DNA sequence: TTGTACGCGTTATCAA
DNA sequence: TTGATAACGCGTACAA
């Protein structure tokens, strides 16, 4: 027995398949990549051989030769927010159907960390990148442009239309929440928002509420806007502090559902009746929003659609197709039990 | 101007760096990979050139030559369960520190889908794969073994010790829940479980409860065990059906916190007082469990630790190191307000 | 329709 | 310490 055979248990390469089928390398390659280009007879010989040998194409070699990794990158702020978990999952699901694989990373709202993640993805040769929001380091754009990697901004629409984006107007959506509350008769507002630094969605939501109120001669003073880091328990604490501060308000607008849930829990713990004494709104419409008691009035986002459509736009662009620069996703207010006229 | 220069805006390769620094390809490679091997003077010339040209190593080429992709795969049932989202995030975070990137996929509890995902990862040449649970298609093992890709099973420990695993005994943990309830005086149990087919964790949890009850001469009849697909609202519906069926029980054990939350919400909607009339338990200890009212008695899992440790074990193995075949994660019962002696 | 031959960008072996 | 050169496994003009 030859030595070279002794340790040759490594997985089969395309050349092995070709030899086993009695054809050349290129024919084997074609038969597997685009079966139509090969005669049925030889094609099946090759496919049989591939199956028999358990041939698995070597992604790196393929990527090197074809200049395509069939890999897409997704960078989200955090997977701890169910909306990003769900959209990421939908994204992965959709691209998997086309043979693409998803590389993911989360940066916890740190722009520097995001640059590092993206640069790692660029190195891996991803064919496209899906990002969240509009706020990104200029360094990140340089990287992407230089590497000529297509990218999609999601969860917001780029008003400047410079970049490809897919989302909705966080500002208008938030304004519609405020509008709803004003129509119920509320005039004293408070707000709990996520951190607004490097988070355009959070900023726009606050701005939207402010604008809507201003249009009716109302205002939202800074002391009634709490900016907190992510998390239900953090939201409880923050809301508690707001209450303790002595501020008076009948409507509490929250930047997302998790924050609203925290507020609802704290309100319940303190015996504050929602919506009788206080109206509370969320944003996102996570599953729990509709099940909770009181059910949460919120903005419904088609979360899975965002991931799916991002995938489809990305795939189209990678395939050389054209897509509209900006894709608007319909969102709408869902009025439930957490809002009512002020007591 | 030469034509070749006209369109030569493509990103710099290592050879460009080498030329710019006046060294050979191999020296440039070394200077970047293992700076210690190169004289300080030449090293900095090379590093400067690389920075100036904005050199980004080509991952595929690197993978092809080094037979390492510096990529790890993670396959989870679903990212819609916050425990998997959190552990995946921790995993990504940890491997990123070592320059590794994470490929993820979710299979929605479908073993066939899991095989496809894993096979896609194998094709991409991942250096290691992290899986959830013990139930997998034999096909999946064949793939992994043939490609000689190390893998870790998580969220459970492999009693047979055949595979590397990292987790805890779902059976014992579930038994401790039942034990707690029996100590409170409960004798009539019901259970809401996730689907048990191809889900060893769910099966073990049901089995654990049954065993603990049996040790005290109690039983959990099949008609009192509901198996449902994932989701809070599905859990609500299921629990409603259980109540309507006329079964009498004072303790409801749930396979995870989301199911328990659904049950708590439905109980509240029907005016069933928890824990006075009914005790409810969960499993996982998601953030909401401790914040909800009533706060949920549940099994606490160090979710982020699971991802982090999986990462560390994987990295160690990839680096040629040894790790214990099985790593036991401590979990414990957290008694909160949702359990009390039967009314 | 099939085969030949070269190139993809890097690492690794070996010699200098 | 550095340099030449051969892999690495596949895709694809181009030729047959």
Of B207, B75, B64, nearest in space to B125 by CA: B64
With a 7 Å cutoff on the CB, does B66 touch strand C? yes
Q: Cβ contacts (< 8 Å) between A262 and chain B: which residues?
A: 291
d(CA A268, CA A255): 19
**Nucleotides of chain D within 7 Å of a protein C-beta?**
1-5, 7-13
Half-sphere exposure of A197 (CA within 13 A, CB side): 6
Q: What pLDDT is attached to residue B3?
A: 31
First CA to last CA distance, chain A: 91
For the cut 70, the answer to whether the pLDDT of residue B5 exceeds it is: no
Residue A97: other Cβ atoms inside 10 A: 9
pLDDT single digits (tens) B57-74: 999 999 999 999 999 999
Report CB contact under 8 Å: B233, A120.
no
pLDDT single digits (tens) B8-60: 356 899 999 999 999 999 999 999 999 999 999 999 999 999 999 999 999 99
For the cut 80, the answer to whether the pLDDT of residue B2 exceeds it is: no
| A147 vs B56, B93, B99: nearest CB | B56
Report CB contact under 8 Å: A146, B11.
yes
Q: What pLDDT is attached to residue A230?
A: 80
Report CB contact under 8 Å: A293, B101.
no
Beta-bridge mates of residue A281:
A253, A297
Q: What pLDDT is attached to residue B10?
A: 64
CA of B296, closest CA in chain A: separation in Å?
A: 14
pLDDT single digits (tens) A45-68: 999 999 999 999 999 999 999 999
Q: What pLDDT is attached to residue A158?
A: 86
Q: What pLDDT is attached to residue B124?
A: 96
Q: What pLDDT is attached to residue A8?
A: 37
Region B103-120: mean pLDDT is 97
Q: What pLDDT is attached to residue B4?
A: 32
| A233 vs B233, B268, B287: nearest CB | B287
For the cut 80, the answer to whether the pLDDT of residue A9 exceeds it is: no
Q: What pLDDT is attached to residue B11?
A: 83
For the cut 70, the answer to whether the pLDDT of residue A77 exceeds it is: yes
| B232 vs A71, A233, A291: nearest CB | A291
- Identify the sign of the CA torsion A93, A94, A98, A101: negative
Q: How far is the CA of A26 from the C1' of D9 (A)?
A: 12
Q: Is the distance from CB of A46 to CB of A31 less than 8 angstroms?
A: yes
Mutation site for A-interface testing, chosen from B13, B291, B296, B337 by largest number of A Cβ within 10 Å = B291
Q: What pLDDT is attached to residue A17?
A: 94
pLDDT single digits (tens) B220-275: 999 999 999 889 999 999 999 999 999 999 999 999 999 999 999 999 999 999 99
d(CA A148, CA B138): 41
Lowest mean pLDDT: which of A186-200, A204-218, B4-18, B114-128? B4-18
**E strand or H helix at B173:** helix B170-184
pLDDT single digits (tens) A99-117: 999 999 999 999 999 999 9
Average predicted confidence (pLDDT) for chain A: 94
Cis peptide before A221 (omega within 30 of 0): no
Region A305-324: mean pLDDT is 96
Region B332-339: mean pLDDT is 98
Q: Cβ contacts (< 8 Å) between B79 and chain A: which residues?
A: 79, 85-86, 88-89
Q: pTM to 2 decimals? A: 0.95
Q: What pLDDT is attached to residue A4?
A: 32
pLDDT single digits (tens) A129-149: 999 999 999 999 999 999 999
Of B338, B325, B224, nearest in space to B285 by CA: B338
Q: Is the distance from CB of B318 to CB of B128 less than 8 angstroms?
A: yes
pLDDT single digits (tens) A152-195: 999 999 888 899 999 999 999 999 999 999 999 999 999 999 99
How many pairs of residues across A and B have Cβ atoms under 8 Å apart?
Answer: 149
For B167, residues 6+ apart whose C-beta sits below 8 A from its C-beta are B153, B154, B155, B156, B157, B306, B327, B328, B329
Q: Cβ contacts (< 8 Å) between B78 and chain A: which residues?
A: 89
Name residue, tokens 């654990």.
B208
Q: What pLDDT is attached to residue A10?
A: 64
Q: How far is the CA of B12 from the C1' of D2 (A)?
A: 22
CA of B181, closest CA in chain A: separation in Å?
A: 26
Half-sphere exposure of B30 (CA within 13 A, CB side): 12
pLDDT single digits (tens) B274-311: 999 999 999 999 999 999 999 999 999 999 999 999 99
Q: Is the distance from CB of B100 to CB of B315 less than 8 angstroms?
A: yes
| A105 vs B102, B288, B291: nearest CB | B102
Region A222-233: mean pLDDT is 93
For the cut 90, the answer to whether the pLDDT of residue A216 exceeds it is: yes
Q: How far is the CA of A103 from the C1' of C13 (A)?
A: 33
pLDDT single digits (tens) A266-295: 999 999 999 999 999 999 999 999 999 999
Region B103-131: mean pLDDT is 97
Q: What pLDDT is attached to residue A257?
A: 98
- The token duo for B189 is 């149990």
With a 7 Å cutoff on the CB, does B269 touch strand C? no
The helix/strand count (H/E) of chain A reads as 14, 12
Report CB contact under 8 Å: B92, A86.
no
């Amino acid at each position: 027995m030859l030595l070279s055979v002794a340790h040759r248990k490594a997985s089969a390469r395309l050349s092995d398949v070709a030899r086993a089928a009695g054809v050349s390398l290129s024919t084997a390659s074609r038969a597997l990549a685009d079966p139509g280009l090969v005669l049925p007879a030889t094609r099946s010989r090759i496919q049989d051989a591939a199956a028999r040998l358990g041939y698995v194409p070597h992604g790196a070699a393929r990527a090197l030769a074809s200049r395509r990794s069939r890999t897409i990158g997704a960078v989200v702020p955090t997977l701890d927010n169910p909306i990003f978990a769900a959209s990421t999952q939908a994204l992965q699901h959709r691209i998997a159907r086309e043979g693409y694989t998803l590389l993911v990373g989360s940066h916890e709202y740190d722009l520097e960390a995001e640059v590092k993640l993206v640069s790692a993805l660029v190195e891996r040769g991803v064919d496209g990148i899906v990002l969240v929001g509009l706020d990104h380091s200029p360094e990140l754009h340089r990287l992407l442009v230089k590497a000529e990697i297509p990218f999609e901004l999601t969860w917001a629409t780029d008003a400047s239309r410079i970049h490809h984006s897919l989302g909705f107007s966080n500002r208008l959506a938030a304004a519609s929440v405020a509008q709803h509350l004003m129509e119920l008769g509320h005039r004293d507002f408070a707000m709990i928002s996520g951190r607004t630094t490097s988070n355009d969605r959070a900023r726009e939501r606050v701005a939207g509420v402010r604008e809507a109120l201003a249009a009716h001669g109302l205002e939202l003073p800074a002391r009634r806007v709490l900016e907190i880091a992510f998390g239900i328990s953090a939201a409880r604490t923050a809301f508690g502090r707001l209450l303790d501060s002595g501020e008076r308000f009948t409507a509490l607008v929250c930047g997302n559902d998790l924050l609203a849930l925290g507020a609802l829990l704290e309100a319940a713990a303190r015996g504050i009746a929602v919506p009788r004494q206080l109206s509370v709104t969320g944003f996102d419409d996570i599953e729990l929003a509709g099940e909770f008691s009181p059910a949460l009035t919120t903005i419904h986002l088609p979360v899975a659609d965002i991931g799916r459509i991002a995938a489809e736009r990305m795939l189209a662009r990678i395939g050389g197709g054209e897509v509209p620069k900006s894709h608007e996703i319909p969102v709408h207010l869902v009025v439930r039990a957490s809002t009512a006229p002020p007591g």
